[in-house]
Structure 1
Amino acid sequence: MDNLQPGRAPLYEMLEQYRATNHISYHVPGHKNGQAYSGSRGAGYLGEVMKHDVTEITGTDDLHHPEGIIQEAQELAADCFGAEESFFLVGGSTAGNLALLLTVCPEPGMTLILQRNVHKSVIHGLMLAGARAVFLEPLIDDASGLAVAPAAESVRAALAAYPEAAAVLVTMPNYYGMGSDLAPLAEACHDSGVPLLVDEAHGAHYGLHPALPAGALACGADGVVQSTHKMLAAMTMGAMLHVQGPRLDRTLLRQRLAMVQSSSPSYPVMASLDLARRLVHSQPAGAFTAGLAAVDKLRRGLAEQPRYGLLQPAVPLQRSGGAAAAAGEGTPPQGTAAYCTQDPFKAVIYDAAGVLTGFELQCKLEEKGIVPEMSDHRHVVLAFSLGSKAEETERLLAALAEIEAEAPARLPVSDKSGDKGHGLPESYSAADFTGTVPEPALFDTPENGQTSTANNSTWNNFSGHSVSAPVSFSLKPVDPRETEPIPLEYSVGRVAAEMVIPYPPGIPLLYPGEIITEAVQRRLSSLSKGGAKFQACSDPALQHVTVYNNKKGGEE
């Protein structure tokens, strides 16, 4: 890779050259460079895209056996993101997660250690591999109640208890842009001779600018999956898989990638990966200038609107960006902090007055033309990027000011006898709300009065054990004759027969074969009533949940 030219985008340039040749197509795809839509109503833009939609012919290379422009594009990506080798993914980070799991667990029954609140694609990978999962509880940020990643001590304990484990997999950053120091986890894995795999779907931009946290590769990870389409500028479904070191079988990894990716990959998606890389590779600092300015405008604007809080770590890991974090500068003096890095492009806001839940605040923003990434019972996630503009932030701040006027900072007093209202003064200042998130009781108080900071987020997923016993996964389908749908309110003590996945971000809260505890039932009920959307389960509104019709999970 000595002669690499960061300013080139070889794959995209090839497509432009191909388009200019005006060759006659006697090969697939059937739209024939978009000609099939010639004259069709509303097909102008689509036709332009299709002129770049080619297949594996002379000169276009082959994603599954790259020797030309795709190989060069992937080598440029490796150079840009600090990997020894990079692979383009046309099926999103899902394809990368599946390939990694099928690589480290090539035989059924192998053990993988991973944090419990992983993306559903990781669970699907466990099913495909027939693996045994040892789940680790993530550390919790006390102020927000949000889960980040497991502690290094938990990783070491799990590796000691299950020395046969093939790898450790964690997610960093989480959906909220929150993270912790990955270097101790990598060290723990390498001391035991196993690779650290990182689902870095939301951190493709990490390490590319001093204002950003360090990337997983810089912290010692062996295999890293990034959704280049999420926080950089690739088309949807465009992602990358980066590897380094000797702990992953790369020959097997290539074979697994060929298994889970199409044999006819999208050239427009691959070209967008090439362009997204060139944008940050050729001007690493300048590419983020506008986006960071938009974020800074939000921070300054929120300082003038104390009604809204902005999630930030109490003790940041990095003082001067990704490079400092990788070098260990700014590390908290004692112990392992659950939350010490924050992606500046993930602005997580909340109503510090406690009037609006995150779901309600998102709805009000959408009514004003502001579409957030997601919300939970407390927070709203606003995803900025290098494509964001300061003038757009002005519209956001104006919308927040309008919402404040429409929903004054005073909670209504409950009509229930004996309940106390949570009224706040009619006038307040920034000092009233700085640094803390409202008590969860303002948002999620079940009828029995018990509260938990873990109940506010679709990201959190807990079992109550720091290191679980192995859980076996397989592709064997659930026999519908052994199941029945029951109202969620009556599900405590029953064995789940389906996966329940609030979306976004797609973190399963319930797995088939798990006993539904009272805490899980309350949490699912709270999320359902709060407006969360659910996938994988038979009832998307989650009024009912499918359980086994006996408590042994369908076995007599």
Structure 2
Amino acid sequence: MGLVDKLNALKRDDAISMHVPGHKNMTIGNLDKLEWSYDKTEITGLDDLHSPDGVLLELNDLLSEKQPGYNAQAVVNGTTTGVLSAVHALKGEVDKFLIVGDAHKSVYHALDLAGVTFEKVAVNDLFGMSVDNTAVLITYPSYSGHAPALDEAIERVKVAGDRIVVDEAHGAHFGITGRFPRSALSHGADIVIQSYHKMLPALTGASVVFTKEEAIHKRVMKYIDHFETSSPSYLILASIELAHQFYNDFEDEVFFKKRSELIKNLEHRGFSVTRADDPAKIVLNIEGVSPYLLFDALNRKGVYSEMVTEEGVLWCLPLFHEGDSYPLESLSGRLDELNLVEDVGNEGQEDLNFLLGRPAVRAVVPYPPGVPLIHEGERFTEEVIKSIIHKKSYHVKIEGIEENIAYYKVDDA
């Protein structure tokens, strides 16, 4: 089946989205205002994304109003572009980088390409170590919606006169009302990169880079020019503008009402629902049922979740609003028809012990969430191998593992 055929099949089956992007199959927000004819190139009147002085400068100025004191730059290649550009913009200014907590693979790719040294630490470690001449990279919120307080950590770095970069890919909606967590922008981070497409209703690839100082902004722009396409999609750019207007106009009464009803319906059907700091993220489980089995059962009914881990099935909730067309009634019917029959592989079928103690030839990354289990050059441990076998038995997509298996099987032959 070709790509277009597959997309049409999902459309015919009325696939229900509990994953990104935030427009949820065009049922949230105002993307119906877009037309295919908006797919233009940088003709006269449409400006230069990498050196804007017209309508795209106006867009950036609009975006910068999200938090006074910041420059904003729309990007169409996703938050990865912003992360790459931020690391390269700071590499000549600091001696090393500190990675706080779990980070997306794009952070490690940026550090690798920049050829800089780094150390991975827990957030509490920042208060007992020297951070002089350092750039600190924090992922906030986590993939599953955990959003710890940033004030003390950012203040600690600021007092030392150092830089703090926040990968806020999953937090573009933060601060949308007072009942959502505050954005890293309100905490005064030096560089904040947000994926507008993840939780706000924008097209995939829509992101914004915010920089607090003009000098840093100019350096970041230099590397955005390096890493981002020179043929930007004006459909994506227009969707950023629409999503930003959605952010400005959003009122949360409908969201919290429908969220409460959805959670109540889930619990009535035997689900346990774990709330996150981010009210738009919940994790589902059913007692006695593997999260992987639950994930597969939902897929078979055309309900597509964001991610599954041992902790449960992650849903990214729609930002429900007055006049949205999200199919909650259809979702309820499909939940009633779930068939929890295991059709996944048998754990332990594959022997990967030949990897034990050997250095990874490529990072091994379950995707999603895109957080590496092991980096290139690190040695496979029993714990890592056990985790890989467990995930593979449930058909979790794991980038890089087949390259390692092939490399060492040939080596053993």
Give deviations 1:140-185, integer Å, cap 9, x for gaps.
Answer: xxxxxxxxxx22xx12334x1x6342x1001111111112111111
User: What's the TM-score, normalizing by structure 2?
Assistant: 0.82
Matched, 1:370 2:303: yes
Instruction: For 1:391 and 1:213, locate their aligned partners in 2 and report how far apart those are by CA, in whole Å.
Output: 24
d(CA) in 2 for partners of 1:241, 1:273:
12
1:117 counterpart = 2:102: yes
- TM superposition shift of 1:200: 0.6
Q: Secondary structure at the match of 2:112?
A: helix
2:293 aligns to what? 360
What secondary structure sits across from 1:381 in the alignment?
A: strand
1:62 to 31, 48, 52: 48
Distance (whole Å) between structure 1 residues aligned to residue 368 and residue 406 of structure 2: 19
Percent identity between matched residues is 29
SS at match of 2:319: coil
Kept after mapping to 2: 8 A contact 1:491/1:545: no
Deviations 1:334-369 (CA, angstroms, capped at 9, x unpaired): xxxxxxxx1111121112x1x222111011111122
Measured after TM superposition, the shift of residue 90 of structure 1 is: 0.7
Structure with more helix by fraction: 2
Residue 266 (structure 1) shift = 1.3
Q: Alignment partner for residue 490 of structure 1, among 331, 343, 354?
A: 354
Alignment of structure 1 residues 268-307 onto 2, 5 Å = 268-281=235-248, 283-285=249-251, 288-305=252-269, 307=270
- Name the residue aligned to 2:8: none
Q: Is the 8 A contact 1:91 1:261 kept in 2?
A: yes
Amino acid at match of 1:126: L
What runs of 5+ residues in structure 1 fail to find an aligned partner?
A: 1-47, 138-149, 314-341, 412-445, 448-485, 551-556
Aligned to 1:381: 314
2:37 to 51, 67, 73: 51
Q: 2:226 aligns with which of 251, 256, 259?
A: 259
Q: Say which is worse superposed, 70-79 or 394-403, in terms of deviation.
A: 394-403
- The one-letter code of the counterpart of 1:113 is L
CA contact 1:497–1:548 (8 Å) conserved in 2: no
What is the DSSP-based 3-state SS (H/G/I as helix, E as strand, rest coil) of the residue aligned with 2:47?
Answer: coil
1:519-551: per-residue Cα shift (whole Å, max 9, x none)? 111122212223211113435xx8x3645999x
Alignment CA distance shift 1:538-1:522 (3 Å): closer
> CA separation of 1:259/1:501 partners in 2, compared to 1, >3 Å: closer, same or farther?
same
Counterpart in the other structure of 2:274: 311
Are the structure 2 counterparts of residues 83 and 359 from structure 1 closer, same or farther at C-alpha, using a change threshold of 3 Å? Answer: farther
Describe the SS at the equivalent of 2:391.
helix
1:526 paired with 2:390, answer yes
2:124 equivalent to 1:181:
no
> Given the alignment of the two structures, is residue 234 of structure 1 paired with residue 219 of structure 2, yes or no?
no
After superposition, the CA RMSD in angstroms is 2.8
SS in 2 for 1:196: strand
Pair 1:535–1:493, CA change in 2 (3 A): same
Q: TM-score under structure 1 normalisation?
A: 0.62
Residue in 1 aligned with 2:20? none
> What amino acid maps onto 1:155 in structure 2?
L
Distance 1:265-1:84 versus aligned 2 partners, 3 A rule: same
d(CA) in 1 for partners of 2:91 and 2:301?
48
Query: Of residues 42, 66, 79 in structure 1, which corresponds to 2:65?
Result: 79
1:538 match: secondary structure: helix
Match of 2:113 among 111, 128, 132: 128
1:512 aligned to which of 376, 379, 390:
376
CA distance in 2, matches of 1:106, 1:348: 41
Counterpart code for 2:178 = P
Do 2:258 and 2:320's aligned partners in 1 also have CA atoms closer than 8 Å? no
